Amino acid sequence: MANVVVENIQSQLNEKKYDIVSIGHTSIKFKTNPWELRWNFSPTKLDGGEFELSNSNGYTMVALHYYENILPTLLIIAGIATISIADGEYEAIPFFSAFFLITGIIHVSILKSKARELLEEILNSDTE
């Protein structure tokens, strides 16, 4: 049963163009290129994560731990802050900070739904 789940995880990750970093007995790690240009019409992807497999009472339990790489966002904020300070435009810093905070919260909720969707697709393909 666990082999079927591992195959489902691998096929879903390959289908969604994730890079599989490692496959162990109880885990599968994956990632994407954080510097890859993504357009607004391309689907949102998780930056990386790990599927953990465990057996409990004859059932295979699957847990997904994912993360978001915030380095590109922090570099953009630092660049905007540096340019604003150099130009003496201090009013832009709170505006852009609030903008990135609001969009960051929205992005986290989108990532949460993408992780749930990925996990559901893997588990539903297991029952087919």
Domain that holds residue 6: 2-127
pLDDT in tens, 64-97: 999 888 887 788 888 888 888 888 888 878 888 8
Q: Give pLDDT, residue 2.
A: 66
Please give the structure tokens belonging to residue 124: 């539903």
pLDDT in tens, 5-51: 888 999 999 998 899 999 988 899 999 887 777 776 677 888 899 99
Sheet holding 48-56, edge to edge: 19-23, 27-31, 48-56, 59-67
Report the helix count and the strand count for the chain, using DSSP H and E.
3, 4
**Rg value, the chain, Cα:** 19
Please give the structure tokens belonging to residue 5: 């789940």
Beta bridge partners of 59: 56
Number of domains in the chain: 1
pLDDT in tens, 51-60: 999 988 888 8
Please give the structure tokens belonging to residue 8: 């489902």
